[in-house]
Amino acid sequence: MSVLDSIIEGVLADQSRRQLPEIELAEQIVAAGEPRDALSSLRRNHFSVIAEVKRSSPSKGSLAEIGDPANLAMKYQQGGASVVSVLTEARRFGGSLEDFTLVREKIEIPMLRKDFVVNEYLVRESRAFGADLMLLIVAALPGDSLQELYALGTELGMQILVEVHDQDELERALGINPKIIGVNARNLKTLEIDLANFTTLLPQIPSHIYRVAESGISTRSDVEVAIRAGAEAILVGETLVKSGAPEATIAEFLSVGKR
């Protein structure tokens, strides 16, 4: 079983324990109100940062003690982030929907639910908890499920970050004509980082699709690699949660994009 398969197995087990009745979930979706426009927020700047609340990872283990995720997210917003991402996967990333809710109550900018969304319930749950932007990982969605979950998320008013890791996944992603594609530098089988993924895949994404570089970004030079490859935004988690001054780190990364 691959790391990805193991994570998804845990996601489904956790879903089964907390799953709400269909009527209750539908009521919660209505109560969540209209989604915020994440793509417009990202496009507002020449170059943008999606800043992530991330407690741990399968490759690094515990990253930081985050006693107040909402306070951290406020710092991200103050630093100039266009979107805040919150990991909600519990077993490998230490996240929760509670973290997402706490952040949602405090910040004004759009939010990405970062999780392994692999069925319709998880799509609906994302909107019910106030997600404006949702992650769909191509590697986790065989057959027609990528297209079907993308269509459902869009119908619910969310925008979708479609994540790819290799050439085959990029071709599948382009086949559904998404508005946003994220290229992840992490190999899901080995968990190793290779920034060459950015330089290989990002230039192949048509300019009308918004391009995000994900994972492995910790320095100004990493940001420069992503920008030269065509990234219009970066998604950063580990570097920010380990930083003593995430606002300054975000501002520094944004300054690279202004050069």
Q: Which one from 52, 125, 169, 238 is the annotated catalytic residue?
A: 52
Backbone angles phi, psi at 55, to 5 degrees: -85, -40
Q: For residue 155, indicate whether it is catalytic.
A: no
Record the tokens describing residue 94, joined without a space. 């230490």
Task: Please give the distance of CA 155 from its chain centroid, rounded to a whole number.
Answer: 19
Q: For residue 242, indicate whether it is catalytic.
A: no
Q: Which one from 41, 57, 125, 163 is the annotated catalytic residue?
A: 163
Q: For residue 184, indicate whether it is catalytic.
A: yes
Q: Which one from 56, 184, 197, 243 is the annotated catalytic residue?
A: 184
The Cα 114–Cα 124 span in angstroms is: 14
Are the C-beta atoms of 230 and 200 separated by less than 8 Å?
no
Q: Which one from 89, 125, 169, 214 is the annotated catalytic residue?
A: 214
Record the tokens describing residue 89, joined without a space. 């996967």
Q: Which one from 54, 85, 125, 126 is the annotated catalytic residue?
A: 54
In three-state form (DSSP H/G/I as H, E/B as E, the rest C), the secondary structure along the chain is: CCHHHHHHHHHHHHHHHHCCCHHHHHHHHHHCCCCCCHHHHHHCCCCEEEEEECCEECCCEECCCCCCHHHHHHHHHHHCCCEEEEECCCCCCCCCHHHHHHHHCCCCCCEEEECCCCCHHHHHHHHHCCCCEEEEEHHHCCCCHHHHHHHHHHHCCCEEEEEECCHHHHHHHHCCCCCEEEEECECCCCCCECCHHHHHHHHHCCCCCEEEEECCCCCHHHHHHHHHHCCCEEEECHHHHCCCCHHHHHHHHHHHHHC
Q: For residue 52, indicate whether it is catalytic.
A: yes
Q: Which one from 114, 126, 197, 247 is the annotated catalytic residue?
A: 114
User: Which positions are catalytic?
Assistant: 52, 54, 114, 163, 184, 214-215
